[in-house]
Chain A
Amino acid sequence: MSEEMEEMIVDAVSNTFENLAFMFVEEVDKSELENTGDEYFISKMAYSGDNTGSLVMATTKQMCINLATNILGLDDDEEPEKSILGDAFNEVLNVVCGQLLAEKYGEKAIFDLTIPEISSVDDKKWNEFLELEETIGIMVDEFPVLIAAYFND
């Protein structure tokens, strides 16, 4: 993946986390993100139309708790419902996808997006995803997040 493409992906992710959840993104060396010892979520979606491809993001459960708390504007001592954690992360992926496609292909291109699907994964799956060449690693408010974009251009 080109540096320019990687920057475009990180910008879309950064813009989404900041505007949706008031959280700040920092690029890091992927090796720093191995085995954080928490529960993980992976969310996936695909797009079709003028071009096709897919987007995958993964993070920890704790990040999703912070994410939902921020999006909803809850007090620090309030916990979001468990059922909304995955939804919050799916929505991030959904928004990232919309921004990334507009940035890469322009606003005249037409796409159909699938609904993001989320699942819980273990350390092994986290590390496997981390080690893929196209996977980018970032910290979002000191929580690890992995992103990979697959463009069938």
Chain B
Amino acid sequence: MSINVLVVDDSKITRSVIKKTIKIAGIDFNKIFEAENGKEALEVLGNEWIDLIFTDINMPIMGGAEMIEKLGDDGLLKTIPVIVVSTERSQTRIEQLQKCGVKAYVKKPFHPEEIKKIVDDIIGRD
């Protein structure tokens, strides 16, 4: 089943790397949406069906942690798997995110193969 993916990062180049990885990894996707911050991401989520979210933490206007918290307040949105891709290394913060239901955490700099493996594990293969 084709999935819709949302990539949230204020860094355009990081969004491009994640998009390229999804495209070349053989993941069955329908569309990839982008957002520069948590607020934009929530707007996309209000208008589109999203199956998987990649998000950074440190972003202007609304960061990833706040966005994830807001997702948790919505009965439907909280079921969407979230993968955090961030420079954040604080164990305390990472554990907090995992308690909010984050499925996986990828530290920057990352290898695209790590992204592929995590998506395969979360979404599974047909």
Q: Is A135 an interface residue (CB 8 A)?
A: no
Q: Is A54 an interface residue (CB 8 A)?
A: no
In whole angstroms, how far apart are the Cα atoms of A109 and B94 in the complex?
Answer: 12
Q: Is B20 an interface residue (CB 8 A)?
A: yes
- Using an 8 Å CB-CB cutoff, how does the interface string of A16-47 with B read, 1 for contact, 0 for none? 10011000000000000000000000000000
Looking at the assembled complex, report how far the CB atom of B88 sits from the nearest CB atom of chain A, in whole angstroms: 7
Number of residues of chain B lying within 8 A (CB) of chain A: 24
Residues of A within 8 A of B14 (CB): 91
Q: Is A121 an interface residue (CB 8 A)?
A: no
Q: Is B109 an interface residue (CB 8 A)?
A: yes
Known: A20-B109, A94-B58. A108 touches B13 (CB 8 A): no
Most buried by B among A71, A83, A91, A115: A91
**Main SS of the interface on chain A?**
helix
The 8 Å CB contact of B12, one of A83, A95, A102, is A83
- Using an 8 Å CB-CB cutoff, how does the interface string of B1-30 with A read, 1 for contact, 0 for none? 000000000111110110010000000000
Looking at the assembled complex, report how far the CB atom of B19 sits from the nearest CB atom of chain A, in whole angstroms: 10
How many cross-chain pairs have Cβ atoms below 8 Å apart between A and B?
63
Residues of A within 8 A of B87 (CB): 94-95, 97-99, 113
The 8 Å CB contact of B90, one of A83, A90, A111, A115, is A111
Q: Is A8 an interface residue (CB 8 A)?
A: no
The reply to whether B90 and A73 form a contact with Cβ atoms under 8 Å apart is no
Most buried by A among B58, B60, B93: B58
A/B interface sample: 21 pairs, CB < 8 A: A16-B109, A19-B109, A19-B110, A72-B13, A83-B12, A84-B13, A84-B16, A88-B13, A91-B11, A91-B13, A95-B87, A98-B86, A98-B107, A98-B108, A99-B89, A107-B89, A108-B90, A108-B92, A111-B90, A112-B58, A113-B58
Chain B residues at the A interface, C-beta cutoff of 8 Å = 10-14, 16-17, 20, 58-60, 86-93, 107-111
